[in-house]
Amino acid sequence: MNIKVYLTYGLFFFVIVATAQQVLSTDEAIKLALEHNYGIKIAANTVEVADNNQGVLNSGYLPTLTGNGGANIEVQNSEGQLANGESRVAEGAETRRYNASINLNYTLFDGLGRLYNYRRLKEQYQLSELEARETIENTMLQMFSIYYTIAQLSENTDALEETLLISKDRLTRAGYQFDYGQNTKLDVLNAEVDINNDSISLINIRQQLKNTKRDLNVVMGNAYSEEFQVDTDLNFLMQLNKEDLLVKTKANNVSLLQAESNISISEYDIKTSKAQFLPTVGLVGSYGWNESTNNSPLAFVLQNATTSLSAGLNLTWNLFDGGSTITRVKNTEIFLENQKLQKEQLIIDIERNFNNAWDDYQNKLLIYQVQEDNIRTSENNFARTEEKFKLGQVTSIEFRQAQLNLLNAELSRNQAKYDAKLAEITVLQLSGELLNVQF
């Protein structure tokens, strides 16, 4: 029985530890953000609205069919004289009339305005997809920035914890040396001050780490309720080629694609406006039914029912509308020209941004490599200083300086590591490849 209890508690403890150490990978973070981020959900709904708008039910190509119906009751008093001279009086004579009809209207030709508007709606749908993609890319940039900030803070926390352990060991050593008269109380006090400073730094970074994890969870739509760690192992895409990415930037950058889509929409707007110079030809049809009853003694027909079927064509031509259509066409053409100029300016800006991002990426990769070398130097320096400190050949101040040098080197290396990764992601986003790369 006791063995079963121990096994139960052991398994329970294992589950708790495993949960506490669960690692949230970048792939899982991306998946959660795509599924639960509210900005992405709103963008998806906007695309769905645009999809509905581009359908045939909103195209104007289908006819309209309306139904009408009515009923009328009339009570009247009347007096009349027949041909034979006889007079008749009808009091409270009731007349009932009923009618129903179905009416069809269909535009056969409207100057091709309907066609251009339909194509415009198709292009508007493509634009909404590009806007949704931009939202996704921006969300991914935000997610990666927060994710790698957590990774950096995690590694910084480990470095500070190691620093605190070294400081505690130094305090223990200083206490023993003071007890045996090998140093003064000042060394003990200095060690205590350094422990306090290291503890404060550790407390602050732990709180910062908690806050940043909450920020990441917000981007993921609060879909991750468990305690988690992040993956601190990075793989840089060293096979990236600048010239290939620049070609992809000009072809796939989402801002450029949006500019091209807006130009197409404006071109359709011009054609739609010009269509108003032409006549509109429509088809109309109607089927009706009418019935009336009259109980008046003066009436020649007591009940009457008719049905009718009609069809026809109509032509409408707005020969002159005061110049509003001409003005609208001219203004739309000017707006189109402005959009083309903006696109040319955008190409220049994006090419500059890409070159800046690429150089920044290469520079930060180089800095990261230098910081890796600096880490090895700082570790060797601290190891030798620690040996000499144990032998009493260096002072506690010199030992502390070597300790801080190692800590700063680790913090700088971590900063350079994740700066380089975020610079790489920026290059991918500008080139339109962010959503096509496996991280």
Q: Are residues 100 and 177 in the same domain?
A: no
In 180-239, where does DSSP find H-type helix? 185-219
pLDDT at 73: 84
Co-location of 392 and 333 in the same domain: yes
Same domain, 183 and 141: yes
In a domain, 80, yes or no: yes
Mean pLDDT of the chain: 89
Query: What's the confidence (pLDDT) of residue 187?
Result: 87
Among 54, 57, 62, 61, which residue's Cα sits nearest to residue 121? 54
* Residue 161: CATH number of its domain: 1.20.1600.10
- The CA–CA distances, whole Å, from 43 to 30, 40, 105, 199, 241 equal 16, 5, 37, 45, 32
Do residues 153 and 291 share a domain?
Answer: no
Q: How far is residue 77 CA from its own chain's centroid?
A: 74
Same domain, 161 and 309: no
The domain containing residue 345 runs over which residues?
Answer: 21-62+111-279+320-436
Flag whether 198 is in a domain: yes
Strands 303-316 and 229-230: unpaired
Q: Are residues 381 and 353 in the same domain?
A: yes
96 and 58 within one domain = no
pLDDT value at position 101? 93
Whole-number pLDDT of residue 11: 35
404 and 339 in a single domain? The answer is yes
pLDDT in tens, 295-344: 655 555 566 788 989 999 999 999 998 999 999 999 999 999 999 999 99
Q: Is residue 350 part of a domain?
A: yes
Q: Give the Cα separation of 15 and 4 in Å (integer).
A: 16
Residue 2 placed within a domain: no
Structural domain contains residue 7? no
337 lies in some domain: yes
- At residue 82, the pLDDT reads 59
Same domain assignment for residues 271 and 286: no
**Domain co-membership, 149 together with 175:** yes
pLDDT per residue as tens digits for the range 17-32: 444 559 999 999 999 9
How many distinct structural domains can be found in the chain? 2
Q: pTM for the full model?
A: 0.85
The ranges of the chain with pLDDT < 50 are 1-19
Residue 84: its H or E element: none
Domain annotation covers residue 356 = yes
305 and 326 fall within a common domain: no
* Of the candidates 154, 316, 326, the residue with the CA atom closest to the CA atom of residue 231: 154
159-212 pLDDT per residue, tens: 999 999 999 999 998 888 887 877 778 888 999 999 999 999 999 999 999 999
Last residue of a domain, one of 316, 339, 365: 316
The 10 Å Cβ neighbour count of residue 140 is: 24
- Cα–Cα distance, 255 to 350 (Å, whole number): 9
Q: Cα–Cα distance between 353 and 356 in angstroms, integer? A: 5
Both tokens assigned to 69: 């119906």
- Co-location of 217 and 337 in the same domain: yes
Residue 345 lies in a domain: yes
